[in-house]
Structure 1
């Protein structure tokens, strides 16, 4: 049975999930504020330390997450339209984008650590590791949700409800939104 999406008051997923998402965004908002305050206090140190980051990796990861969010939106559209099997392919490609993001992040951490740039080097790197590390935990949780959706939508008889699909997708979009703030905050500011 196809899901008919109406614009009149439809909130994707379950309302309780939005409490979690908004709470998570609030916590990250506090983190971002603390980082901005620390940066204002040590502007020269933060600017110099920022040059140690690999802008190319940060940009590639931004493109990966934006692409993955687009793929998840396509997947949800297909599930709503009754074509869960097609949606499963989009979930798989979005999951692969997340895996590449994680591999890039591990490569970036490895190169920084092998160069002696640890969280103890300076305040900027401490914030870099903490903020991107917490984001990576969110990414892994989101990838687990995408894996769940991919596995369940491959078989039409096991497809999760539209609300569950939308809820998992909404969490994945949260991961993307957080990175869209982290990227300029850490790599561009």
Structure 2
């Protein structure tokens, strides 16, 4: 195989992949995670369609206020992360790190609220085996919470290794975590 053969876009053509912020492999990860969450939500909606009365009764046991607070927390954290990237692009490294810290701190707030919500359900004897609804509730929101933890770790690492490209990749992942919650909240907590 010859090493001198390289496929390059013709002069004047734009390479779409090079236009993505961050790294290509992060976008592959994001796309695959969105597919997993999308499939889980489709199954959740199928469970709702099979027995809407039982689904609604179980859904009524959720704390919509906690879910709404967590939505606000994650959307705000996404804003903080976006401001961090803009600050880093302007070479304001200290400010960028502070904004990343704020985004990560809000991620921790999300986990605390979710922990209280889980504890409240456990105190009522509601667990993963209570019903199909709660099986999906715990699996989907638990999987999402693991992504929040991973995102907090990634944001902390990027605050340390704070190149613009690293920060863009980390913030793209964090926005995926935000997006997934923005889809989860109405489907799991609100849609009747």
TM-score w.r.t. structure 1 length?
0.90
Aligned to 2:114: 105
Q: Which moves more between the two structures, 9-18 or 87-96?
A: 9-18
Q: Does structure 1 residue 126 correspond to structure 2 residue 171?
A: no
Per-residue deviation at 1:160? 2.6
Per-residue deviation at 1:84? 1.1
Per-residue deviation at 1:137? 0.6
Aligned to 1:14: 23
Runs of 4+, deviation exceeding 4 Å: none
* C-alpha RMSD of the superposition: 1.4
Tell me how far apart the structure 2 counterparts of residues 59 and 84 of structure 1 sit (CA, whole Å). Answer: 32
Tell me how far apart the structure 2 counterparts of residues 148 and 14 of structure 1 sit (CA, whole Å). Answer: 15
**Alignment counterpart, residue 183 of structure 2, candidates 173, 181, 184:** 181
Q: 1:14-36: per-residue Cα shift (whole Å, max 9, x none)?
A: 11111111011111111111111
Q: Does structure 1 residue 84 correspond to structure 2 residue 86?
A: no
**Alignment counterpart, residue 169 of structure 2, candidates 162, 167, 175:** 167
Aligned to 1:67: 76
**Alignment counterpart, residue 54 of structure 1, candidates 63, 88, 96:** 63
Task: Write out aligned runs for 1:135-154 (5 A).
Answer: 135-150=144-159, 152=160
SS in 2 for 1:61: helix
Q: Report how many aligned residue pairs link the two structures.
A: 176
Q: 1:21-64: per-residue Cα shift (whole Å, max 9, x none)?
A: 10111111111111111110010001011110001100000000
Task: Write out aligned runs for 1:37-52 (5 A).
Answer: 37-52=46-61
Tell me how far apart the structure 1 counterparts of residues 188 and 113 of structure 2 sit (CA, whole Å). Answer: 16
Q: Between Structure 1 and Structure 2, whose CA radius of gyration is higher?
A: 2
